[in-house]
Amino acid sequence: MDVGGLPTFKEIRAVAWPIILSLIAQNVVNVTDTAFLGRLGPIPLGASALGGLLYIAIYMLGFGFGSGAQILISRRNGEKRYEETGRITNQTFLATSLFGIIIIILVQWFASPFLNALISSPDVGKATIEYTTMRIWGLVFAFANISFRAFYVGIARTQLLGYSAAVMAVVNIWLDYTLIFGHFGFPAMGIKGAALASVIAEASAVVFTVIYTLHTVDLSRYRIFTASPAHRLTLIQTIDISVWVMLQNFLSLGSWFLFFVIVEKSGELNLAISNIIRSIYMVLIIPILGFATAANTLVSNSIGAHGSRYTAQIIGRVMIQGFWYIIPILLIAIVLAKPIVSVYTSDARLILATVPALRLVCGVMVLFNAAYILFQGVAATGNTRITLAIEAFAIVIYLWYSWTITVVWKFSITAIWTNEYLYFVLLGILSYFYFTFGNWRRKVI
């Protein structure tokens, strides 16, 4: 496949599908955690949502660094500067590992006072602290996986992502069953067991990926795992692109955490409903995330090889592919909303309250597909300051709207989730304006 030219629909799918499969496997982990903890009651369910969102918000800092590295790797791959892709990857490993260790230490020190200050319910607060202080130990392994992801997506060899995520999912499901409820001679650890299972699963994915890389990648071509002194210019370029993506991703996931804090103020039932919706939502949008990531790497590779010649066509083709997959999925989810929610809980009241909100959220996926693929196209140009500005503006309006309808006006949980429509309308319009009026064609990285 010529990743620098205009890809066919088949070639787009060849890049996107392994990413989609990896996201499916990762979300099996989230669904399993939610389904198992839902059997323990609304407090562990709500606490795992808050702790999980805090972890993901921190994780997205590292993911942002990896995304910036991926943009550079894609560009250098399109330019056929293969050794440079390995150099960027090696420095990403070192930087994210150091960053992960620092974050783990900070969370162990400050998680308790931070979460107690934010969460109204003492029981939810205690459970959230238990989950977070255990879950954070997986951060170094998660960051290593991010570095591998940046390399493989950047060179458009995405098959590895599906394999490693499948390993992680299998390990996590088995350990969830074993550690949450106490099977096979292990103690029942409850919410703490779910966190420990995720840590071990992330470590297993790293081990698998290292073995896969050693056996399948031409190390002499890419120079990955090769000891070399830090290259100042490469590091500066990576940081210059990545720092804005880090902040943007942290804002994005941090806004979800703050949204759940806002929802928690309306009651434990609404928090449990929102956790179920979030878990289902993250599964339903997997094709969008996969195709958006494909758009990012294909656009960046294409700019490296041909300049801006194919950018609009690539984004359009990827967007069409996303619609083909997402529309049938959202229609099925709307029709089967009640059985889907029943997977997460047997509480009739919780099911009845969740179904209308889930159906409303399904409708936003059409906007999500168009806006997010366009937004990832903006990121692929390398002007990550612009993506941060777009995200920040949309999030400020999103959180203001969420606070107003939840705390001030006290609307129903279904009405509260209309905030997703507002967010993606803003994201799409601002991204379109940048492509129409911005100077992205002159951006050099």
Q: What's residue 184's pLDDT?
A: 85
Task: Find, among 71, 13, 80, 81, the residue nearest to 299 by Cα.
Answer: 71
Q: 424-444: string of b/e by CB count within 10 Å (b at 16+)?
A: bebbbebbeebbeeeebeeee
pTM of the model: 0.78
Q: Residue 317 corresponds to which tokens in the numbers above?
A: 């083709």
| Per-residue confidence (pLDDT) for residue 229, from 0 to 100 | 60
Say how many C-beta atoms besides its own lie within 10 A of residue 259's C-beta: 23
Q: Which of 132, 120, 103 minimizes the C-alpha distance to 198? A: 132
* Amino acid residing at 402: S
- How many beta carbons lie within 10 A of that of residue 291, not counting itself? 31
Residue count of the chain:
445
Q: What is the pLDDT of residues 127-162, one digit of tens each?
A: 889 999 999 999 999 999 989 988 998 887 878 888
**Separation CA 260–CA 391 (nearest Å):** 19
Q: Retrieve residue 223's tokens.
A: 């120079």
Closest CA to 375 of 387, 392, 364, 393: 387
pLDDT value at position 171? 93
Per-residue CA distances from 8 to 314, 317, 374 (Å): 9, 8, 18
Half-sphere exposure of 200 (CA within 13 A, CB side): 15
pLDDT at 5: 63
The conformation of residue 136, written as its DSSP 8-state character, comes to: G
What does the pLDDT read at residue 231?
A: 66
Residue 136: CB atoms within 10 A of its CB come to 25
Q: What is the pLDDT along the chain (445 residues), one digit of tens a residue?
A: 555 567 888 888 888 888 887 777 766 776 777 778 877 877 888 888 788 878 877 887 888 888 888 888 888 887 888 888 888 888 888 888 998 999 999 999 988 888 888 787 888 888 889 999 999 999 999 999 989 988 998 887 878 888 898 899 899 999 988 998 888 888 888 888 988 999 999 999 999 999 999 998 888 888 887 766 656 677 777 888 888 888 887 788 778 889 988 998 888 889 889 988 988 998 899 899 989 988 988 888 888 777 777 888 999 999 999 999 999 999 999 999 999 999 888 889 999 999 999 999 999 999 999 999 999 999 888 888 899 999 999 999 999 999 999 999 989 999 999 999 999 999 999 999 998 887 776 666 6
Predicted local distance difference test score (pLDDT) of residue 445: 61
**Residue 6, CA distances (Å) to 274, 310, 321, 390 in order:** 41, 6, 15, 27
| Matching residue, tokens 């934010």 | 118
Round to whole Å and give the CA distance between 153 and 161.
Answer: 9
382 near 443, Cβ under 8 Å? yes
Which residue's structure tokens are 């162990």?
108
Tokens representing 426 are 């803003």
Query: Degrees (nearest 5) of the Cα angle 166, 205, 88?
Result: 115
Q: Using alpha carbons, select from 157, 165, 169 the residue that is nearest to residue 216.
A: 157
Helix %, strand %, coil % for the chain, to 5? 85, 0, 15
DSSP code of residue 217: S
The CB density around residue 306, as the number of other CB atoms within 10 Å, is 14
Of the candidates 327, 309, 289, 253, the one whose C-alpha atom is nearest the C-alpha of residue 53 is: 253
In angstroms, rounded to a whole number, what is the distance separating the alpha carbons of residues 445 and 269? Answer: 48
- pLDDT, residue 227, reads 63
- Residue-wise pLDDT for 357-389, tens only, equals 999 999 999 999 999 999 999 988 888 889 999
pLDDT at position 331, please? 95
Residue 320 near residue 7 (C-beta atoms within 8 A) = no
Stretch (H or E) spanning 368: helix 365-380
